Amino acid sequence: MRKIWWTWDIRMRWAPGFSSTRESFVANYRRAIDAAGKYGVEGIVIWGFLRDRHGGIDAAREVVEYARHKGIAVLPGVGIDDYGGVYYQGDSPYSLDTYIRAHPEAQARNEDGTPQVHRWPPTDTDARLKACPSDERVVEFYCTSLAWLVETFGLEGFQIEQGDSGVCFCERCRARDRRIMTLDHDDKPRISLEDAAVRIPAVVEAVLPQRGDCTIITETYSGLLPRQIEQMAPFVEKYPDDFYISWQLYDGVGRFKVDDESRSPSPHGCAALRTNNDRSGGEVDDRENIGRALDLSRKAGLDMTYIYGEYADDRAVTRGNYDAWSEGAGGGSNR
Ligand SMILES: [Zn+2]
């Protein structure tokens, strides 16, 4: 299986400072990149790739170039309607916040009609503005900004998501027949499946009709249990065959959302292993479950996996988890 590390900039613990400055951001990713090769990691997803407070474009370029020199791809997180667009936070024409401030009619609405924002990770200093998925004009902005991102950094791929922080309740969105998904930990309407499956391919196909070896990972936020596949299958069909459809099939200690009957509904799929980081309560020896999740993922036909790469491997427990994950995923990649 291809192996990827998945990270939020401000949760990185490879160097001090949680990427709050340029020095901290660059040091965190340089150290992660230095270690990545040991585990066969070929790419690192970075959410919060571009932020003014950690050096914006210049610092991001420094990280990408260092990674390239070490044979590792940087895969920025790209938000559609959420997560800041391509420029997570800052004074940039490619930031979704900037677009929405200039086009307030494009902002998503809460149930009470107030404008919708999203602050994540919870340790972030401020919230991002969210766009309404019924707004068609913002799609042109996504295309322009994704083209800029790929060109500016010579990217070999990216992860792209439409968001899992709640659906829009504007009149246009309410009037549509939406298939809404909740997450396991509460019953809030988090995700509109069609919005992701229509908008993400539309943007990517417009910007990169010929994708070659470009690696595109897109998130379902769903597990891979048969009932979940049944729910997702009509939407997964809308994605191009070369996309890696990501399944959150292992969600922290002992919580499997994959079983012997699980089968990937797409040619390429990524097993997202969500353990051993701040979200799951910190460092934990989870080697056995990691191995089991990967066995089931391979049986299901998935050919990629990611695990959080936010903790430094000078900690013995974390190193053990990375080793178990790397071995469980098998050697090399299928590129
Ligand atoms: Zn709306």
Please state, in angstroms and rounded to a whole number, the distance separating the CA atoms of residues 103 and 147: 21
The answer to whether the beta carbons of residues 266 and 245 sit under 8 Å apart is: yes
**How close is the Cα of 200 to the center of ligand 1, in Å?**
16
- Å from CA of 241 to ligand 1 middle: 29
How many angstroms is it from 169 CA to the middle of ligand 1? 6
pLDDT of residue 334: 39
- Cα of 332 from ligand 1 centre, angstroms: 43
> What is the 296 CA–ligand 1 centroid distance (Å)?
38
pLDDT at 335: 38
For residue 301, count other CB atoms closer than 10 A to its CB: 15
Distance 203 CA to ligand 1 centre (A): 18
- Classify domain 2-329 at the CATH topology level: TIM Barrel (3.20.20)
- Residue 331: predicted pLDDT: 65
Ligand 1 centre distance from Cα of residue 254 (Å): 37
| Ligand 1 centroid, distance to 137 Cα (angstroms) | 13
> How far apart are the CA of 103 and the centre of ligand 1, in A?
14
CA of 218 to the centre of ligand 1 (A): 22
What is the model's pLDDT at position 192? 85
CB atoms within 10 A of CB 97: 21
- Nearest to 197, CA basis, from 245, 136, 146: 245
Please tell me the predicted confidence (pLDDT) of residue 75: 98
Of 226, 225, 222, the residue nearest 235 (C-alpha): 222
What CA–CA distance (Å, rounded) separates 50 from 28? 14
User: Please, what's the b/e burial string for 152-183 (b: 16 or more CB within 10 A of its CB; e: otherwise)?
Assistant: ebebbbbbbbbbbbbbbbbeebeeeebeebeb
- Ligand 1 centroid, distance to 45 Cα (angstroms): 28
Contact between residue 229 and residue 263 where contact means Cβ atoms under 8 Å apart? yes
The total of other beta-carbon atoms located within 10 Å of residue 88's CB is: 28
Phi, psi (deg, nearest 5) at residue 308: -60, 135
Sign of CA dihedral 224, 38, 213, 138: positive
Tokens of 196: 């992701």
The rounded Å distance from CA 212 to ligand 1 centre is: 34
Task: Please enumerate in sequence order all residues whose Cβ is within 8 A of that of 235, keeping only pairs 6 or more positions apart, or say none.
Answer: 179, 193, 194, 196, 197, 220
Contact 117, 96 (CB under 8 A): no
Query: Two tokens at 302?
Result: 């998935």
Per-residue pLDDT tens, the chain, 335 aa: give them: 999 999 999 999 999 999 999 999 999 999 999 999 999 999 999 999 999 999 999 999 999 999 999 999 999 999 999 999 999 999 999 999 999 999 999 999 999 999 999 999 999 999 999 999 999 999 999 999 999 999 999 999 999 999 888 899 999 999 998 888 787 777 788 888 889 999 999 999 999 999 999 999 999 999 999 999 999 999 999 999 999 999 999 999 999 999 999 999 999 999 999 999 998 889 999 999 999 999 999 999 999 999 999 999 999 999 999 999 999 999 654 33
